[in-house]
C-alpha cells in the first residue's frame, strides 16, 4: 500500500527527471555554447538573450546535485558543460570575481561583481567538485570565497556589502533587480553567501571558513530575523539601520530550512540550537501567506496590508522543503499535510504538463503569469532542489 510519503517520493523523483529533461532538451545553446539565455512563456527561444551568471551557476548546481540521485551520466555531462562555460566566460581571470551577465555570444556585458552571483558560482562549483573531483572547480570556489572576504566583508560592522565594479571599486547601483531597494546589506545576499560557504565547507574543511560561516549565522540571527513577527528583515544600510520593506513569504520559508542546514554543516551547537527555534518560528509565520488552495502568496506589504496577489513558482518549492523540515523537527503531521496540499496545488496550477517545467506562477484569478520559462531568474534550482531535498529527507526518515 502506498503511503502519502512514499507517493510523494515517487512523484518528486519523476518530477526531478522531468525538470532535468526540459533543461537538457531546450536550453543547450548549440550556436554560441553554454545555455540559452531565455525561453519565454510561449516556449519561444531567444537565441540573442543575455546570459546571466546566476542562471548558469544554478544549472551547474542543479545538474551536479541531481546526479547524486539519478546517476544519469547525461546529467553529469550537462554539469560539466555548465562548469566549462562558467570557467571560460563568466570567471574573471584578470580581477577575480565573476561577470554579472554576458552577451549571447559569450562576451562580457555587465561586468560588475554582484556578491550574490559570486556566491552562487561558489555553490555550483563546490557541488560539481563533489561529484566530479575536478580540482579546478574547488580552486575557483576557494578563490571566489577569498575575494568575497577581501572585498565584501565589513570588518567594522560585520556582514557583507552587495556589489562592486569589475575591479572591486565602489558602485552606486547595488540592486539585484529593479524591485529591490538599493541598500548595502541585504538578507538575500547573506542567505546565499552562507549557503555557498557551507557547501564549500562540506568539501574543504578549512577552520577559517568554518568561523566565517558561524559569524554569518550570528549576523543573520542578530539583524535579519525579527523574532517579534517571525519574518525576515530584508534591507539595511552598512550600519545595520533597517529600511523596512515587504514580507517575503518565499524567503521566510527558504531561510527556515536552509539556515538550519548551514548551521548543521558548521557543527556549531549554539547555532544549531538557535536555528532549530528559528526554523519553527519562520515556518509558522509563513502560514499567514498560505491560501485556502494550498498555494503560497508572493509578498505582503505590511504598511498597507496589501498582498502581491501572485503565486510564483519558487516560493512553492521552498514551502515544500521548509514545511517538510519542520515536520522532521517536530514530528507534527500537520506540517506534512501542508506539504502535500502545496504539492497538489503545484501539480494543478504550476506544472506545465504540456511543455514541461513550471510556469512562473499564477495570478489571483488562476491565470498563468506570462513570464519566462527559462531565463535570467527562472532557473531549475528552486524546483529541482525541492525534489532533491525531499527525496533525500524521505530516504533519511525510512532509514531511521
The whole-angstrom separation of Cα 333 and Cα 337 is 6
User: For 96, which DSSP code?
Assistant: S
pLDDT tens digits for the chain (400 residues)?
469 999 999 999 999 999 999 999 999 999 999 999 999 999 999 999 999 999 999 999 999 999 999 999 999 999 999 999 999 999 999 999 999 999 999 999 999 999 999 999 999 999 999 999 999 999 999 999 999 999 999 999 999 999 999 999 988 877 767 776 777 999 999 999 999 999 999 999 999 999 999 999 999 999 999 999 999 999 999 999 999 899 999 999 999 999 999 999 999 999 999 999 999 999 999 999 999 999 999 999 998 999 999 999 999 999 999 999 999 999 999 999 999 999 999 999 999 999 999 999 999 999 999 999 999 999 999 999 999 999 999 999 988 7
The whole-angstrom separation of Cα 113 and Cα 99 is 6
Contacts of 398 (CB under 8 A, 6+ apart): none
pLDDT of residue 199: 98
- Per the structure, the count of domains in the chain is 1
Q: How many CA atoms lie within 13 A of 262 on its CB side?
A: 34
Q: How many CA atoms lie within 13 A of 312 on its CB side?
A: 18
Torsion of CA 285, 220, 327, 17, to 10 degrees: 110
Which residue range is the domain that position 123 belongs to?
4-399
CB 387 within 8 A of CB 13: yes
pLDDT of residue 176: 65
| CATH number, domain with residue 326 | 1.50.10.10
The whole-angstrom separation of Cα 95 and Cα 336 is 47
Helix boundaries (H) for the chain? 4-26, 53-70, 73-85, 115-132, 135-151, 187-203, 207-219, 249-266, 269-286, 313-330, 333-345, 381-399
pLDDT of residue 170: 86
CB 290 within 8 A of CB 296: yes
The two beta strands, 113-114 and 361-363, are unpaired
Amino acid at each position: 500500500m502506498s503511503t502519502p510519503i512514499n507517493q510523494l517520493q515517487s512523484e518528486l523523483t519523476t518530477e526531478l527527471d522531468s525538470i532535468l529533461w526540459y533543461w537538457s532538451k531546450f536550453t543547450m545553446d548549440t550556436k554560441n555554447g553554454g545555455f540559452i539565455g531565455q525561453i519565454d512563456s510561449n516556449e519561444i527561444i531567444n537565441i540573442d538573450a543575455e546570459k546571466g551568471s546566476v542562471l548558469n551557476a544554478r544549472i551547474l548546481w542543479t545538474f551536479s546535485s541531481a546526479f547524486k540521485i539519478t546517476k544519469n551520466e547525461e546529467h553529469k555531462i550537462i554539469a560539466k558543460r555548465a562548469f566549462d562555460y562558467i570557467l571560460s566566460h563568466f570567471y574573471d581571470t584578470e580581477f577575480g570575481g565573476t561577470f554579472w551577465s554576458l552577451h549571447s555570444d559569450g562576451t562580457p556585458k555587465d561586468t560588475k561583481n554582484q556578491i550574490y552571483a559570486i556566491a552562487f558560482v561558489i555553490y555550483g562549483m563546490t557541488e560539481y567538485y563533489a561529484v566530479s573531483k575536478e580540482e579546478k572547480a574547488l580552486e575557483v570556489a576557494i578563490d571566489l570565497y577569498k575575494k568575497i572576504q577581501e572585498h565584501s566583508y565589513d570588518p567594522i560592522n560585520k556582514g557583507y556589502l552587495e556589489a562592486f565594479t569589475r575591479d572591486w571599486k565602489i558602485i552606486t547601483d547595488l540592486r539585484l533587480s529593479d524591485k529591490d531597494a538599493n541598500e548595502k546589506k541585504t538578507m538575500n545576499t547573506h542567505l546565499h553567501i552562507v549557503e555557498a560557504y557551507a557547501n564549500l565547507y562540506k568539501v574543504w574543511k578549512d577552520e577559517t571558513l568554518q568561523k566565517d560561516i558561524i559569524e554569518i549565522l550570528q549576523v543573520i540571527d542578530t539583524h535579519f530575523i525579527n523574532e517579534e513577527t517571525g519574518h525576515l528583515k530584508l534591507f539595511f544600510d552598512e550600519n545595520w539601520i533597517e529600511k523596512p520593506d515587504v514580507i517575503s513569504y518565499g524567503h521566510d520559508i527558504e531561510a527556515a530550512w536552509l539556515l538550519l542546514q548551514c548551521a548543521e554543516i558548521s557543527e556549531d551547537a549554539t547555532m544549531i540550537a538557535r536555528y532549530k527555534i528559528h526554523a519553527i518560528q519562520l515556518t509558522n509565520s509563513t502560514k499567514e501567506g498560505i491560501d485556502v488552495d494550498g498555494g503560497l502568496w508572493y509578498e505582503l506589504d505590511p504598511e498597507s496590508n496589501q498582498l502581491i496577489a501572485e503565486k510564483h513558482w519558487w516560493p512553492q518549492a521552498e514551502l515544500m522543503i521548509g514545511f517538510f523540515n519542520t515536520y522532521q523537527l517536530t514530528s507534527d503531521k500537520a506540517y506534512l499535510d501542508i506539504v502535500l496540499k502545496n504539492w497538489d496545488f503545484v501539480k494543478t496550477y504550476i506544472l506545465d504538463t504540456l511543455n514541461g517545467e513550471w510556469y512562473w506562477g499564477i495570478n489571483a484569478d488562476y491565470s498563468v503569469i506570462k513570464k519566462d520559462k527559462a531565463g535570467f531568474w527562472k532557473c531549475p534550482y528552486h524546483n529541482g532542489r525541492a525534489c532533491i531535498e525531499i527525496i533525500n529527507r524521505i530516504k533519511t526518515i525510512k532509514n531511521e
